[in-house]
Structure 1
């Protein structure tokens, strides 16, 4: 017969395998997840976490992460000999901890990865022609030029973004309340979005923001202060609303920005969407890309350059390479088989909406 500790190890491994198998198979039931989780219990979970932690001026989740790292390092130090000698007690603790963390992640937010695709919810086609793409690029170019002119009369200068992130946090939710699509229109009041206390490592890893799925707090890179800031805030808040997939969060953020009453939010969302569209057009019709690019006010291109200049010192460092590769695998494990390439799928949603 198995000893007690060995039996515990087998149970822990079995539970972990069962969880992974269950979550893998959930992708086959998107309508069920959409109805009973994403539009059922999750809105109550999200609102409860926003009410509970949104009023705290700093990130409780970041403090939790830092405390967790210290505790893990302490546990590894204390357990180092037991781990080396394959102590069943230590491995049982580790395996049961992994089970609890994985279950908590899925219940509090992760099930949203398995919800119905947004294009199905909004009845949007996934395929589009080059002509449709060109027409959408032209439309976004007109909108972006008009918004740029309203904010910056000198066409060769970028639009300045001088308000603090905390100021933008306060007015961001109205964009979601003004959305014309009833499936997307939601209230994010009270909100719970904060500047990350981990901005330095976040920047080194190449990330603009993230959602803490355990606390429901949305976070932004506190050092980013350019055209992307408003749409970045909306992107992380879209995750908070349960749009887990990156392409869908981008689309929702763009729509929320375009429908925001603040012109800076509109401009941010417009040129953010335009960038994806231009990149796709460049791969499909380089000549059309050059023609449309020539019609852009030069200041828009300078806004793009500001963001590139921000990231330039951190490009291709070892930390970024490892973190991006890790996140790519994380996306694949959570029902996004194309990994970080899913960011480009927002084009189909923009073209066909």
Structure 2
């Protein structure tokens, strides 16, 4: 590439940062023109050809990018970082292209309207409302566990293969789209991550590759977690970039799933978030409600916790801190703590559902 072009690309990086920062102040504009406008077409266009590949193209691209970076660094070390103006411009030009692609292909979804506004829900709730939600989730989770196991202390084992779990995830969105057409999932592109083992030691369940639009799942995790993890990543594909919002979408997809194992996984997932928030607000009530949960559900929770404990390592906090910073930069001010926002969505969504007698209020 000619040096003049590299200078132009490098100079466009700060311009992009300023323009995107200004656009981020207008979430309604982004909602209408990007998230509900051109993004669905971009996403489907990318999912259609890549969905037929039996492997993750995005994972291969990551490997190529890492190798290119290593090659670039080796060259810089060999030349002892001489001609800094040249390699700084090269680096800024590359960052400029990546930054533009990230936002155009998917990243603008971080700046869309908050989901509680789209659903016309109150983002706040009282402890009493949280207790009601927790009690309802305990009741339903217990019922589902009892249907799956006569032994109340037995952890539920999901009998499906990982391929079948992915197929069931897609089926869940087909079912959900009957109530919410906005969540229609055509041209599915849900894949096992080639980096599942490294992801495990980094502490991640899965991710969306923003450059290829592929939803990646860490298939090393406990099967009990795969339904909600896979549904979460599909939520990202559908344009819900924020982690808490993708978690809420995952709750809807699994809790309303035609398959009982998915419904169990989804209710237990929502219950854990609810209980964690209740523990922070009212420990005494938390202990009281915990006694009402079938031991087998708690055994599933321990199964997940034990899995992550077995894979703890000195580098995991660094990876999580880096990701936390990434969330903050991308319009999630509380970082990973913002995950608790899913409880607010659950409390007010089900309260609205009860008040209206409907199964949902629609997304837009």
The TM tier, using the shorter chain, reads: over 0.9
| Structure 2 counterpart of 1:103, from 90, 96, 100 | 100
- For residues 86 and 200 of structure 1, the distance between their equivalents in structure 2, rounded to whole angstroms, comes to 39
- For residues 287 and 259 of structure 1, the distance between their equivalents in structure 2, rounded to whole angstroms, comes to 31
Aligned length: 348
Q: Is the 8 A contact 1:157 1:298 kept in 2?
A: yes
Q: Is the 8 A contact 1:83 1:91 kept in 2?
A: no
The equivalent residue for 1:336 is: 332
5 Å-filtered alignment, 1:1-353, equals 11-82=8-79, 84-179=81-176, 185-315=182-312, 317-353=313-349
Inter-CA distance 19–291: structure 2 relative to 1 (3 Å threshold): same
Q: Is the 8 A contact 1:176 1:185 kept in 2?
A: no
Q: Is the 8 A contact 1:83 1:90 kept in 2?
A: no
- For residues 308 and 246 of structure 1, the distance between their equivalents in structure 2, rounded to whole angstroms, comes to 20
Instruction: Say which SS state the counterpart of residue 191 (structure 2) adopts.
Output: strand
Q: Is the 8 A contact 1:15 1:99 kept in 2?
A: yes
- For residues 48 and 332 of structure 1, the distance between their equivalents in structure 2, rounded to whole angstroms, comes to 29
Per-residue deviation, residues 161-185 of structure 1 (Å, max 9, x unmatched): 2312211111212322333796574
Deviates more, 1:172-181 or 1:242-251: 172-181
Provide the TM-score with structure 2 as the length reference. Answer: 0.91
Instruction: Say which SS state the counterpart of residue 215 (structure 1) adopts.
Output: coil
Q: Let me know the Cα RMSD of the aligned residues.
A: 1.8
Deviation at 1:89, TM superposition (A): 2.0
Q: Is the 8 A contact 1:238 1:253 kept in 2?
A: yes
Provide the TM-score with structure 1 as the length reference. Answer: 0.94
Inter-CA distance 10–58: structure 2 relative to 1 (3 Å threshold): closer
Give every structure 1 segment of 4 or more consecutive aligned residues whose post-TM-superposition deviation is greater than 6 Å: 7-10
Instruction: Say which SS state the counterpart of residue 311 (structure 1) adopts.
Output: helix
Per-residue deviation, residues 118-146 of structure 1 (Å, max 9, x unmatched): 00000110110111000000010111001
Per-residue deviation, residues 305-347 of structure 1 (Å, max 9, x unmatched): 00011100223x2321111111111111101111111111111
Q: Is the 8 A contact 1:175 1:257 kept in 2?
A: yes
Q: Is the 8 A contact 2:137 2:267 kept in 1?
A: yes
Per-residue deviation, residues 267-297 of structure 1 (Å, max 9, x unmatched): 1110000000001111111111111111110
Q: Is the 8 A contact 2:7 2:93 kept in 1?
A: no
